[in-house]
Amino acid sequence: MAEANPNSNPGVLETLGEEIVRIVAPVSACMLLVVLLVTALSSSSGGGLASIATIAYSDDSSDSFWDKLKGALLSSLSFVVLITLLTFLLVLLFYLRCTRFLKSYMAFSSLVVLAFLGGEVFLLLISRFYVPIDVVTFSLLLFNFAVVGVLAVFLAKVPIMVNQGYLVIIGVLVAYWFTLLPEWTTWALLIAMSLYDLAAVLLPGGPLRLLVELAISRDEELPALVYEARPVEHLPGAGTRLWRERRDLASNSSSNSNILEAGDPASQDTSLVIAEEGPSVSALTAPFLQQQLERHGEVELEGIGLSSSGAIKLGLGDFIFYSVLVGRAALYDFMTVYACYLAIMSGLGITLLLLAFYRKALPALPVSIALGIIFYLLTRASLEVFMVQCSTNLLMF
Instruction: Convert 197-225 to b/e letters by CB count within 10 Å (16 or more is b).
Output: bbbbbeeeebbbbbbbbebbeeeeebbbb
Angle at 30 between CA 306 and CA 349, to 5 degrees: 55
d(CA 20, CA 346): 11
| The one catalytic residue among 59, 197, 264, 269 | 197
Going by C-alpha positions, the residue among 348, 355, 307, 303 that lies closest to residue 325 is 348
Decide if 63 is catalytic.
no
| The one catalytic residue among 63, 264, 318, 333 | 318
Decide if 318 is catalytic.
yes
Active site residues: 197, 318
